[in-house]
Amino acid sequence: MKRVLHRLVQLLWVLMVVALVYGLWARDMVPKSWHAICDPTAFVVICLFTVSVGVWVFWHHFRFRDITMAHVDAMDGLEFENFCAFLLKRNGYTRIQQTKGSGDQGVDVIATKKGIKFGVQCKRYNGFVGNHAVQEIWSGKEYYQLDQAVVLTNSTFSDAANDLATQLGVTLIDREGLRKLMKRLPS
């Protein structure tokens, strides 16, 4: 599906270039009888291109605009992972890659910041996040050969999770930390 979408975008770019060349330069060179077909076609291609660029900009930059913690609390797990990846991007992380849904070894998102590779486990919970999440991200960090392990949640961590994270060097980002990251979202 992703490959097909990529090919469609490439085709739209090519058609846009052709439409612009026609509209700005070649229109005077083609027979006038072709104008009845070429003019509307070029117009439609330019409109489709403009709308698709607008949708792309919205999706990549504004889809989580003005989101509140209530919205975050209502997300499902996959939605929360997508949100966390977007949030990391807005906070200066690069090379953001979401791992596959199952068999990800506890790492949901891999991102880089200042040359350091981070593995992030995203936990959307209603109660305390326990030390199992810390154990999972620690093993995932070793599996993917990452520099730093992070557990990011919309909730809080249990005392056992905090103790284990301190001992293993895992960074824990709780609800308040998530709020701070969310300040970088567009509003």
As averages over each run of 10 residues, the pLDDT of the chain (187 residues) reads: 82 90 87 89 91 82 73 84 89 87 78 92 89 90 90 91 90 89 74
To the nearest 10 degrees (0 to 180), the angle between helices 77-90 and 175-182 is: 50
Question: Both tokens of residue 61?
Answer: 């930059």
What is the pLDDT at residue 179? 87
What is the pLDDT at residue 95? 92
What is the pLDDT at residue 153? 92
What is the pLDDT at residue 121? 92
Question: Both tokens of residue 119?
Answer: 């593995």
For residues 6 and 12, what is the distance between their CA atoms, to the nearest angstrom?
Answer: 10
What is the pLDDT at residue 151? 92
For residues 172 and 180, what is the distance between their CA atoms, to the nearest angstrom?
Answer: 13
Tell if the pTM clears 0.75, that is, is over it. Answer: no
What is the pLDDT at residue 120? 92
Question: Both tokens of residue 67?
Answer: 């989101």
What is the pLDDT at residue 101? 67
Check residue 92 and give left, alpha or beta (phi > 0: left; psi -120 to 50: alpha). Answer: left
Question: Both tokens of residue 125?
Answer: 């919970």
What is the pLDDT at residue 100? 78
What is the pLDDT at residue 149? 92
What is the pLDDT at residue 187? 58
CB hemisphere CA count around 92 (13 angstroms): 6
- Between β-strands 109-113 and 94-98, what pairing exists: parallel, antiparallel or unpaired? antiparallel
Q: Which residues have a Cβ under 8 Å from the Cβ of 27 and sit 6 or more positions away? A: 35, 38, 39
Q: Distance between alpha carbon 132 and the CA centroid of its chain, in Å?
A: 26
For residues 121 and 110, what is the distance between their CA atoms, to the nearest angstrom?
Answer: 9
What is the pLDDT at residue 34? 87
97 strand-pairing partners: 110
